[in-house]
Chain A
């Protein structure tokens, strides 16, 4: 039985009519054609499908679309501010903290969630928070450095 859901997606209101039990990942990727959010393991083990829902990192492959009703969703496409890259995006580029780039959107949104909760994490805290995000290319050390750089930039922006 299809239902209509309204939510805020990257700053714009969207309305989707579909089956409530469908996962948000597929609604984003196929119905809304927003492909920055990646499908990789499909069972919540890798972090590639991470999006922010009301500023919380969520595995969209495990998140039914009905639960998103009335909430704010941010995907990698929504992270820029009027065409200006988010400090995390800049820092990932600066440190070359990616290779194939497939896990990168999830990594960045996961890190974004961490910095919201803990604006100046130690590298140990970064490792603990990011443990569920997999990168087969092996960019972990550079990602840790990128998150620390972004944290510094964001601290500067706040003060």
Chain B
């Protein structure tokens, strides 16, 4: 889908592993088979990286050390989603080594296989298979080497914890470390060995505690801003007060009086640098830099009209049947509009990068979800070759799609070059809000119809700027058409907004599921059916029915025709192959207009589960974070200015908001692992608005449902459309 292309190449195509085949690899290696040798980056790895696919050579993914420890390399990054643990589980399982012998190296462009970036709940789904394949091949080769070493047939040997032994004589054994001696394995198999069947798993599929837990509770875990280099300076940069504002002139004389301050002007960038961050802050405050006002005239109130007016030429996302025929079959029709405002990523760790330049080589430590993309950005900005730029990704303090661009990385690299010192750029919270690529404000119009049997006969869906993900109907609807007028990235939506917008955890889907599942409830009400019954009545998809029934069983409360006054809600969806159903119970303080979410149950079918504990943590996180965009999170802006600059006015979920959260993981190991970092958040808008309707009988059509909007709705007996 076009509006999902926020990176400049075909993601799905490039995520397919195995771009470089064995024959090409041999050609690169000159055809000779060397058993063991030690080098840094293999040529094959470099080639594969250049070609932008996952490499074929299993050495790119793992290395067995002389001490027996196994290092796993992944171009993905760890930002809290927990793949640091699930990748280690997958590798340990397939290689037959203890989990605690695995060390993870992630997001280092010099050491790790190329990767498009960590987003879209794609890490396990797309990196998992080549990682497992690499480990299976390494294990098979190690068996061959052991057979030669022990002069025993492979069938007569077994492996446990990285030690291959003769089954009938376990004393006759050799360890992986003894076989490889810390060197790279240069024997490969023409025919790829099969990976283990899930029924053989003893590490994968078992609830596992986070491997980064200890580093994170002791303060030892390093984030980009924790990198300290000799002579490093902290840079602060003059920013416009509003998007679209132009600099008039600049007076740096007062800042120049600060001891040891360095001031750099490079075209439009004016930066102050000092060995202490807070002194650089002070110097920045002394710079006089008046700007022309922005020409942008939009604000929160005008934005929906502006967006609708900017739309042209919708693209068909999916269609079936014929809408006119469907309309002719309908005995009841529905016509509703749904809105959501801009939402910030608000990661706890602001965008940060540290850059060091030595000659024509640059090393950058970056808080990024896309280190290989950042590598390209830095190379281009500095005029360096790609291989002379190394991006290292320490732990990342949340991303949610907000750390895909490399703006701060390029700033640090340029300033390091100009100052001839290592430089750290760490945005302030205000900069974080200003340059955030918000989840776009969006409008969804849905027209639909039911026949006399309460079956949905037509569905006409107009999506203005949400992005099309999860907008394909999974209910039985013979006549439907889904149109998108632009999404959250690049073309279309990108130019329409007064500031940057982008992917936000579950991009597109949060808005679509909110609209779709709200609308399903509108029809259920008209059909005189309870919302669970109506959904099941209009579904044949067995997986979807299964997650709905699993959630209902856990929820343990029966739904009635809404509004029942009980405050129960349902929403279900298919997020890129992960199916889920969420049920919630809310209470409303009508005087204050406050929604209190008491309980949320989420049943999810993620296919094969690598770390059940990790999946549950992600669902809980999704539910909690999702409360924000349901209840309070809305970026306020005016004339290009972002009015929310910190957490005093931009309210994100807190301890006191917490509902009881219960998770159900459906057992479906026959299906390859799907994603789990995002799916559950996408159901939150739908489930909470439906629960609110069940409680007070008012259909809220704008997110977030702030106390002011709830009170207004209660006063007027209906929701406003702003």
Residues in A lying within 8 Å of B, measured CB to CB: 22-23, 26, 29-31, 33, 35-43, 45-46, 48, 75-77, 79-80, 85, 88-90, 92-94, 96, 98-105, 108, 126-128, 130-131, 133-144
Contacts and interface: CB of A to CB of B under 8 A. Distances in A.
A137 B625 contact: yes
A100 B349 contact: yes
Contact of A43 (B219, B234, B648, B660): B648
Nearest to B212: A101
Contact of B620 (A31, A41, A89, A141): A141
B685 to A, nearest CB: 16
26 contacts: A22-B279, A30-B278, A35-B222, A35-B225, A40-B348, A40-B349, A40-B350, A42-B429, A45-B648, A48-B348, A75-B219, A76-B217, A76-B219, A85-B217, A93-B213, A98-B216, A101-B80, A102-B223, A102-B398, A103-B348, A127-B656, A138-B653, A140-B653, A140-B658, A141-B620, A143-B655
A76 B219 CA distance: 6
A46 B348 contact: yes
A36 B620 contact: no
Q: Please give me the 10 A-B residue pairs with the lowest Cβ-Cβ distance, nearest first.
A: A36-B219, A138-B624, A100-B80, A101-B216, A102-B397, A99-B80, A76-B219, A35-B226, A138-B621, A26-B278
B397 A101 contact: yes
A42 B656 CA distance: 23
A136 B49 CA distance: 33
Nearest to B426: A39
Contacts of B349: 38, 40, 100, 102
Contacts of A77: 218-219
Contacts of A96: 209-210, 213, 613, 617
B302 interface: no
A7 B234 CA distance: 25
Given A88-B217, A101-B216, A138-B624, 5 more contacts: A38-B348, A39-B225, A42-B646, A90-B217, A141-B661
Interface in B231-248: 234
A30 B648 CA distance: 26
A98 B652 contact: no
Prevailing SS type, chain A contact patch? loop
Given A46-B647, A103-B348, A23 B652 contact: no
A39 B658 CA distance: 25
B217 A89 contact: yes
A61 B346 CA distance: 19
B347 to A, nearest CB: 6
A60 to B, nearest CB: 12
B275 interface: yes
Contacts of B275: 30
Contacts of A31: 276
Contacts of B348: 38, 40, 46, 48, 100, 102-103, 134-136
Chain B, interface size category, equals: 35 or more
A134 B82 contact: no
Nearest to B345: A136
Interface in B244-282: 275-279
A101 B84 CA distance: 13
Contacts of B276: 22, 26, 30-31
Contacts of B217: 76, 85, 88-90, 92-93, 98, 101, 104, 108
Contact of A41 (B80, B214, B216, B429): B429
B284 to A, nearest CB: 13
Interface in B196-219: 209-210, 212-219
B395 A100 contact: yes
For A22, A93, A96, the residue with the greatest tally of chain B CB atoms inside 10 Å of its CB is A96
Given A46-B647, A96-B613, A101 B221 contact: yes
Contacts of B617: 96, 99, 139, 142
Contact of B429 (A40, A75, A101, A135): A40
Contacts of A76: 217-219
Interface string B612-625: 01000100111111
B597 to A, nearest CB: 13
A134 B213 contact: no
Contacts of A101: 80, 212, 215-217, 221, 395, 397
Contacts of B278: 22-23, 26, 30
B228 interface: yes
A129 B463 CA distance: 43
Given A100-B349, A131-B654, A138 B79 contact: no
B240 to A, nearest CB: 20
Given A40-B429, A140-B658, A100 B620 contact: no
B222 A99 contact: no
Contacts of A36: 218-220
Nearest to A78: B219
A105 B226 CA distance: 14
A36 B350 CA distance: 15
B496 interface: no
Contacts of A37: 219
A100 B653 CA distance: 16
B428 interface: yes
Nearest to A77: B219
Interface string B6-18: 0000000000000
Contacts of B661: 141
